[in-house]
Amino acid sequence: MAILEIYGWLLETSWGVVSEDRLQDVMDALDNEEFDRDDFDDILDSNNETGINTDLDIEIFVDGDLKEFDRDQFAEELEEPVLIEDDENEGQFFLIEETASKGLIYSCEISEEFDQEKLSLWYYNYALGDTENSINVLEIEYDDNECLDRRVDVEVYGIKLLKPDGTLYEADEVGAANENSSSQSDETFQKIYVFTDKNSYDNFCSYIKENKQQNIDYGIDKTIITYSGINSDELTITFENTPEELQFTPDPDIGWVEDEIGQISVRWSPRDPFE
């Protein structure tokens, strides 16, 4: 038996209706930037959906070997998600918690060669009352096999309060904090990959061509990539983007990177935004 593993982003959203008697508590916690999840888990645990990122930015391995698959196979499902209506909660406030993780998001045993026709995908939109907002959930499975293992590290965390008119609740203080945070998130950094040999440099160039270049060409991925050139004294490839976008790029401590690309190291300029 071989082990099929899918690596990528895992998105999880928890949400619930905020009753009138809890609304002021939620607003006060957000206003004071002292939101403690444990104080509101009775609301957030009312509903929970977990799915892979809706860009289908995943990699599939069978016993460590990277497998090609055609994302266009799922174009129809992605363009026409199933909409689940929520008529019971019209005119309500919704408290929403979002996390985004990366790592191993699905694995199963297979007894034959990988066949992308056995990949199944479901895409749902859960409507939130009549706010015209929804929770997006994308699930993937291979040959009806249950997931054997999942190992992810949480990277992003967010709490927001959705008002009945579909806009986000923001007090003056919260708005100012978000404006400052937004300006900081626009700052770009350079993630510089350093290679000890030409083979690993070439492997990484191939990885970019197969996994990122098309999205860059189409303007979906805003990463600026510069290459030192194969004859440079120091072999480097530099990704430049915001921390939010760079956090999901390959890292040396991810097992498949060493197996598929080789020995690499990373340095940041002007600094590591995650330290």
Which DSSP string corresponds to 117-174? GGEEEEEEEEE-TTSS-EEEEEEEEETTPPP---EEEEEEEEEEEE-TTSPBP--HHH
* Cα(63)–Cα(117) distance, integer angstroms: 19
pLDDT at 198: 94
DSSP H or E segment with residue 7: strand 2-18
Nearest of 230, 232, 243 to residue 191 by alpha carbon: 243
Read off φ and ψ for residue 31, nearest 5 degrees.
-60, -40
Residue 154 has pLDDT above 80, yes or no: no
Mean pLDDT of the chain: 87
% of the chain beyond a pLDDT of 70 = 93
pLDDT category of residue 174 using cuts at 50, 70 and 90: very low
Report whether pLDDT(43) > 90. Answer: yes
Confidence grade of residue 9 (pLDDT, cut at 50, 70, 90): confident
CA–CA distance, 180 with 178 (Å, rounded to integer): 5
The per-residue pLDDT for range 175-227, each reduced to its tens digit, is 444 454 444 457 899 999 999 999 999 999 999 988 888 778 767 788 999 99
Q: What pLDDT is recorded for position 182?
A: 47
Residue 137: other Cβ atoms inside 10 A: 21
Question: pLDDT tens digit string along 74-98?
Answer: 888 888 889 999 989 999 999 999 8
Q: What is the mean pLDDT of residues 224-238?
A: 93
- For 193, 224, 240, 241, 242, the CA distances from 227, given in Å and listed in that order, are 10, 10, 12, 15, 19
Query: Which pTM was predicted?
Result: 0.60
Q: What pLDDT score was predicted for residue 215?
A: 78
Which 3 state secondary structure label does DSSP give 221?
Answer: coil
Q: How confident is the model at residue 120 (pLDDT cuts 50, 70, 90)?
A: very high
Tokens of 194: 């350093």
Q: Which range among 26-30, 34-38, 182-186, 255-259 has the greatest average pLDDT?
A: 26-30
Q: What is the mean pLDDT of residues 155-166?
A: 85
Mean per-residue pLDDT for 219-238? 90
pLDDT at 249 over 60: yes
Question: Three-state SS for 272?
Answer: coil
> Residue 62: its pLDDT value, please?
95
Angle at CA of residue 160, ends 34 and 93, nearest 5°: 110
Structural domains of the chain ordered from first start: 2-184 (no CATH), 188-269 (3.30.70)
